[in-house]
Amino acid sequence: MPIAIRQLHPVFAGEVSGIDITGPVTPEDVAAIEAGMDKYAVLVFRDQRFTDEQQMAFGSNFGRIEVSRGGNVTKPQDLRLKPGMNDVSNLAKDGRPLARDSRQRLFNLGNLLWHSDSSFRAIPAKYSLLSARIVNPKGGNTEFADMRAAYDALDDETKREIEDLVCEHSLMYSRGSLGFGEFSEEEKEMFKPVRQRLVRTHPVTGRKSLFLASHAGAILGMPTPEARILLRDLTEHATQPRFVYVHKWKLYDLVMWDNRQTMHRGRRYDESQPRDVRRTTVAGDAPTVAQVAGE
């Protein structure tokens, strides 16, 4: 049976039915899912009981799987999951919720700010795949914003103004905005800012989108406060309800999104209870703009 996609929001996001993606999938199915991603930018698959190995195998149909190093402050010996899996849970290695003052937890709260995964890497992410293994009883929605529709809705003057702007993205900017500002020398090196275009064009559809994230903290050639006001204005514009799909998690949902065309954020939840969501990230193909020589 061919897959079917039902649109979930007026401008984007679709729910896929007619396929089990936990096992091998055919090249035709992979092509149909890619085409669905190009069109809807967010796809929801229900009742997919993944193991980590199966989730990584499915993700690798769409490109290279990114390793999580460089994206958090969790020490290698404290990791709960394998290197190809990003831990978006509130759990420590022993399976219990992290303590309130845990540095790992406080850093990870940055996931509740609007962002695009790995925009702080020179080659930012293509897709993310998030699998719900334990759903928290209260809160914890994930919200997605369609950055193509947000771009389209800008006036022509703004489009001209921002067309060639280049931003600097770093985890130190997003965490710094929450008052999390203490980084070791090793972390400062790991989280060094990278450059990203503010407007990017989708390689298949040719649609332009705003490439924003709370990781963006500077714009080349612009005084910092002016840059941050512009970034805040654009983010406020792009995250209006008319551009936002709210995903309410059910157990074994797999949600897949295109980081080149969307932003997302988690919402608060009852952290005394477990929430186990696990992400696989498919790396992008190329930087959005040249980096500084020697970096």
Shortest distance, position 279 Cβ to Fe ion, whole Å:
7
Amino acid at 259: N
Shortest distance, position 232 Cβ to Fe ion, whole Å:
19
What 3-state class would DSSP assign to 108?
helix
DSSP label at 288?
Answer: S
Size of the site for Fe ion (CB under 5 A): 1
Shortest distance, position 168 Cβ to Fe ion, whole Å:
19
Q: Which C-beta is closer to Fe ion: that of 154 or that of 170?
A: 170
Element of type H or E holding 210: strand 208-210
Residue pointed to by tokens 């390793």: 67
Q: According to the binding rule CB under 5 A, does residue 258 interact with Fe ion?
A: no
Residues 92-131 binding Fe ion (CB under 5 A) are: 117
Cα angle at 148 between 161 and 249, to 5 degrees? 135
Shortest distance, position 115 Cβ to Fe ion, whole Å:
6
Which residue of the chain is nearest Fe ion when measured via CB? 117
Question: For 103, how many CA atoms within 13 A lie in the half-sphere containing its CB?
Answer: 9
Shortest distance, position 250 Cβ to Fe ion, whole Å:
19
DSSP label at 98?
Answer: P
Q: Which C-beta is closer to Fe ion: that of 120 or that of 154?
A: 120
- 114, 156, 230, 294 from 236: Cα distances, Å: 10, 18, 10, 35
Q: Which C-beta is closer to Fe ion: that of 88 or that of 154?
A: 88
Residues 56-85 binding Fe ion (CB under 5 A) are: none
Q: Which C-beta is closer to Fe ion: that of 117 or that of 168?
A: 117
Residues 127-186 binding Fe ion (CB under 5 A) are: none
Residue pointed to by tokens 């979930």: 8
d(C-alpha 107, C-alpha 105), whole Å:
5
DSSP label at 281?
Answer: E
Can you give the binding site for Fe ion, defined by CB under 5 A?
117
